[in-house]
Amino acid sequence: MAEKISPGMQQYLDIKKDYPDAFLLFRMGDFYELFYEDAVNAAQILELTLTSRNKNSEHPIPMAGVPHHAAADYIDKLVDLGYKVAVAEQMEDPKKAVGIVKRAVTQVITPGTTIDHSNSVDNNFLVAIDCAKNQFTLAYMDLSTGEFRVTELPDFSAVVGEIASLKAREIVVGFELEENQAKILEKQMNLLLSKQYDFPENLLIDLSVLTGLENQVASKLLAYVKRTQMRDLSHLQEVEHYEIKDFLQMDFATKSSLELTTNKRENKKHGTLYWLLDATKTAMGTRMLRSWIERPLVSAQAIEKRMTIVQIFLDHFFERSDLIEALKGVYDLERLASRVSFGKAVPVDFLQLANSLSNVPAIKNILGLLGDQQLLDLEKRLDHLPELAQLINQAISDTASRTITEGGIIKAGFDEQLDKYREALQNGASWIAKLEADEKAKTGISTLRIDYNRKDGYFFHVTQSQLESVPDYFYRKATLKNSERFGSKELTEIEEIMLEAREKSSLLEYDLFMTVRAQTEQYIARLQALAKTIAEIDCLQSLAVVAEKYGYVRPKLTENSRNVTIKQGRHAVVEAVMGAQEYVPNDIELPEETDIQLITGPNMSGKSTYMRQLALTVIMAQVGSFVPAQSAGLPIFDAIFTRIGASDNLISGESTFMVEMSEANHAIQKATRRSLIVFDELGRGTATYDGMALAQAIVEYVHERIGAKTLFATHYHELTNLEQELEGLTNVHVATLEQNGNVTFLHKITPGPADKSYGIHVAKIAGLPADLLERADLILQKLENKPVPAKKTEAPEEQLSLFDFDENYSEVIELLKGQNVDNMTAREALNFLWQLKDLL
């Protein structure tokens, strides 16, 4: 016979069945409880005590719980680890409930929908993907800021690259993934996949600007968000269509190898271009700067507009300093707006909002004083919302805390009824003080005092020693060890007036606060527009600050020329880390007729830094930043492709060489004459002749078929002969200084090919044993067919007789007689020589 399930557990099971992929937190009084498998797993992950319900039954139910006041921390931990959490709340007062308390899930919190980013200004993008007839679409939104964008992508690899760039943690999938696609997303990228195949027709969001498939993916994303969040989404911004061709195209491998926003070692911001350029003062500005770096522009007009404003800020130091001070007072308007929309805004949020709005007139004034037309356009967009600022300043108390149920929120004078309640409370306090003084005088009890607690209300406190003086009109409320508590008719009357005022005052304050919050919702779209304008101003002043700090110059951009001319250029990040005094600048010259620069030189000499220097300079210029050089003339590139550094893709079973070839193929397939290609040591992952052949074929293909500006670093010195065959290729190398057997790398790029690679010298710097290096040098000279100098030996103490052979010498002679030296390979001859040496 099946064990009977209680009504409460049946309610839990009915709710859980709708959320099989989430931890269900089931509110029971002051705790959220978890049951069955959820309890077992949560107890392990969150280090909770695992108990059981119905302990004495044959099948006890595993149970674990968390206090409701601490639930947020536990939820955050689960979500950070990639889990979903469904929160089931009590929907009625348990005291008034008839039978089982009604419960329902009020929100599902997932890695892509969490909005409480207390320690981070970064975006948290939730991405949706869809596919029809091999055409992919992608939509993404950040619930904490309201950003909502959609694009079409040519293939699945482009989808993967966009997801990686967005740093998404959760993907809403609108179609049946192929097995390999699911493996890439789940195993390689460690993403949480959520399915959303259908969507209602009317989502109350205007998607008319989108194409059919774009509309579909955006609708599925919206449907998923509505299904999990179950609340108003009025803060979502209008959906924005974008195309990747409208920006400088860089795949995830390129962004990673150039360390644009995260470094390779720790996956953090330090030591990246983002870290270098970030002198922003607002959270919105920080997020926008990152998006600018991830998506540089390809429109000369848009780039020049940014640079013009950067130049204005550079030229006006004092005004820029005042602007920075005003920006410091602006809080995260985008997230404040979303908290209002989500019903999570607390009094402190409104104080931050009012403070932010109070700084906007100063920002407007500074832009107006500078007077340039470009700045006047920004100034016009600065809407300081005076009516909202006035509402908050009149309504919310400057000393309001984060709680909204205990009063102290609303300012005096905002509401007449509230002021009356407060007056009653204030008078009540004076009535209490007067009553206490009167009773002391009447009774002669010198230590008599009136106290209050929730259980007994207001009472007279009398110590044990003075109980005999208690009058007849006092009645006992409670007896303690050393004192007793009494009441009186007059005290009760005062208490009733005060408690009524206190209770009604708190309720009225709560209602007034909710009214202010509802009124603020009407300003969300204007707040978001203001946030974008302030973010743009913040990014531009940041670029000016960095340009001034490091002495950057405004590059000259050409749309109709492909000439690259950089004088005394530097790698911006390396220079910032090591200091300008130590950094060796280099010119980069790629005239119209030169497509490929073949770079040779030893390891550690600066080839990779030189190549990255050009790529980062291009990115900085197309972001709208000034660049690290004495002067710079650049074309506008449409894409950057890199193959820098060796790495295996172990999860997908790809070797270094396979990754090399895949990335090279991506560049060859996608690059145009307006692209920049950076290849470092291509072909080294396979056998020497294979690698050399492939490297040469790739150079020739890029030269003949693509014509992209290309930097190609190689150790295959044989490739330098291509300069004679390919008119668009020139050789350069890293200069070295060799003195007394020691080599110094000068980090200076000079014309022509390198004469040697100095690999053994690099090994010497790395500290390899001297005898090993000596042996390597001997082998190198043999391989290069150079005569090996005889090693000097110390003169023996006495000359040996030519005919005084011992047993070992006889063995050497016999061994020599038995060898056919003419048929030996170089390796066999070398090994034989070492064998003879050992015998001797």
Which band of pLDDT confidence, cut at 50, 70 and 90, is reported for residue 207? Answer: confident
pLDDT at 683: 64
Do 406 and 506 meet the contact criterion of CB atoms below 8 Å apart?
Answer: yes
Q: Which residue has the higher pLDDT, 402 or 712?
A: 712
Reduced DSSP (H G I as helix, E B as strand, rest coil) percent helix, strand, coil of the chain, to 5: 45, 20, 35
Q: Which residue has the higher pLDDT, 783 or 701?
A: 701
Task: Give the model confidence (pLDDT) of 396-414 as tens digits.
Answer: 999 887 777 777 899 999 9
Do 535 and 288 meet the contact criterion of CB atoms below 8 Å apart?
Answer: yes
613 three-class SS: helix
CATH topology of domain 416-517: MutS, DNA mismatch repair protein; Chain A, domain 3 (1.10.1420)
pLDDT at 298: 96
Dihedral of CA atoms 179, 172, 228, 140 in degrees, nearest 10, equals 170
Q: Using CA of residue 541, residue 543, residue 547, residue 549, what is the dihedral sign? A: positive
Q: Which residue has the higher pLDDT, 339 or 791?
A: 339
Could you give the CA distance from residue 545 to residue 321 in angstroms, rounded to a whole number?
Answer: 10
Do 761 and 602 meet the contact criterion of CB atoms below 8 Å apart?
Answer: yes
pLDDT at 781: 73
Q: Which CATH architecture does the domain made up of 278-385+523-550 adopt?
A: Orthogonal Bundle (1.10)
Check pLDDT > 50 for residue 709: yes
Check pLDDT > 90 for residue 827: no
Starting at the earlier edge strand, list the strands of the sheet with 586-590: 556-558, 631-635, 564-569, 586-590
Check pLDDT > 70 for residue 477: yes
pLDDT at 772: 85
Could you give the CA distance from residue 773 to residue 679 in angstroms, rounded to a whole number?
Answer: 30
Q: Which CATH number fits domain 556-757: 3.40.50.300, 3.40.1190.10, 3.30.230.10, 3.40.50.1110?
A: 3.40.50.300
Closest CA to 698 of 687, 326, 738, 713: 713
- Contacts (Cβ under 8 Å, ≥6 apart) of 413: 394, 419
- Contacts (Cβ under 8 Å, ≥6 apart) of 51: 62, 63, 64
The beta strand positions in 740-786, using DSSP E, are 742-751
pLDDT at 686: 64
pLDDT at 790: 52
Could you give the CA distance from residue 828 to residue 235 in angstroms, rounded to a whole number?
Answer: 77
Per-residue pLDDT averaged across 688-708, rounded? 88
Check pLDDT > 80 for residue 602: no
The tokens describing 508, both together, are 């009225």
Could you give the CA distance from residue 200 to residue 224 in angstroms, rounded to a whole number?
Answer: 11
Per-residue pLDDT averaged across 340-347, rounded? 88
Task: Write down how long the chain is.
Answer: 840
Do 338 and 143 meet the contact criterion of CB atoms below 8 Å apart?
Answer: yes
pLDDT at 349: 93
Check pLDDT > 50 for residue 625: yes
Q: Which residue has the higher pLDDT, 814 or 527?
A: 527
Q: Which residue has the higher pLDDT, 479 or 579?
A: 479
- Separation in Å, CA 653 to CA 539, 649, 656: 42, 6, 10
Do 702 and 677 meet the contact criterion of CB atoms below 8 Å apart?
Answer: yes
Per-residue pLDDT averaged across 676-697, rounded? 80
- Which among 504-508, 587-591, 690-694, 806-810 has the top mean pLDDT? 587-591
Q: Which amino acid is at 511?
A: D
Asked which of 406-420, 604-618, 739-753 is least confident by mean pLDDT, the reply is 739-753
Q: Which residue has the higher pLDDT, 695 or 675?
A: 675
pLDDT at 90: 92
Closest CA to 336 of 125, 624, 531: 531
- Give Cα 220 distance to the centre of its chain: 25
Which band of pLDDT confidence, cut at 50, 70 and 90, is reported for residue 471? Answer: very high
Which band of pLDDT confidence, cut at 50, 70 and 90, is reported for residue 744? Answer: low
pLDDT above 70 as % of the chain: 89
Check pLDDT > 70 for residue 805: no
Which band of pLDDT confidence, cut at 50, 70 and 90, is reported for residue 212? Answer: confident
Question: pTM (2 decimals)?
Answer: 0.82
CATH topology of domain 7-109: MutS, DNA mismatch repair protein, domain I (3.40.1170)
Asked which of 135-149, 323-337, 672-686, 817-831 is least confident by mean pLDDT, the reply is 817-831
Task: Give the model confidence (pLDDT) of 2-52 as tens digits.
Answer: 567 888 899 999 999 999 999 999 999 899 999 999 999 999 999 999 998
Check pLDDT > 90 for residue 559: no
Residue 630's CB is within 10 A of a number of other CB atoms, namely 13
- Contacts (Cβ under 8 Å, ≥6 apart) of 185: 160, 163, 171, 177, 191, 193
Using the structure block, give the residue that is written with the tokens 């968390």. 66
> Class of the 126-246 domain?
alpha beta
Per-residue pLDDT averaged across 794-805, rounded? 49
Check pLDDT > 60 for residue 266: yes
Could you give the CA distance from residue 165 to residue 153 in angstroms, rounded to a whole number?
Answer: 14
Element (H, E) at 712: strand 709-713
Q: For CATH 1.10.1420.10, list the domain ranges present in the chain.
A: 278-385+523-550, 416-517
- Contacts (Cβ under 8 Å, ≥6 apart) of 728: 593, 594, 595, 596, 703, 707
- Establish how many alpha carbons lie within 13 A of residue 47's alpha carbon, considering only the half-sphere containing its beta carbon: 2
Closest CA to 674 of 635, 703, 721, 641: 635
Per-residue pLDDT averaged across 732-739, rounded? 78
Q: For CATH 3.40.1170.10, list the domain ranges present in the chain.
A: 7-109
Phi, psi of 742 (to 5 degrees): -105, 145
Which band of pLDDT confidence, cut at 50, 70 and 90, is reported for residue 745? Answer: low
Could you give the CA distance from residue 68 to residue 52 in angstroms, rounded to a whole number?
Answer: 19
Angle at which helices 386-395 and 347-370 cross, to 10°: 140
Per-residue pLDDT averaged across 466-488, rounded? 91
Element (H, E) at 339: helix 333-341
The tokens describing 210, both together, are 């989108």
Check pLDDT > 80 for residue 831: no
Q: For CATH 3.30.420.110, list the domain ranges present in the chain.
A: 126-246
The tokens describing 512, both together, are 């007034």
Check pLDDT > 60 for residue 364: yes
pLDDT at 689: 74
Q: Which residue has the higher pLDDT, 727 or 374?
A: 727
How confident is the prediction for the chain on average, in pLDDT? 87
Check pLDDT > 70 for residue 262: yes
Q: For CATH 3.40.50.300, list the domain ranges present in the chain.
A: 556-757
The tokens describing 174, both together, are 């609108």
Per-residue pLDDT averaged across 70-89, rounded? 93
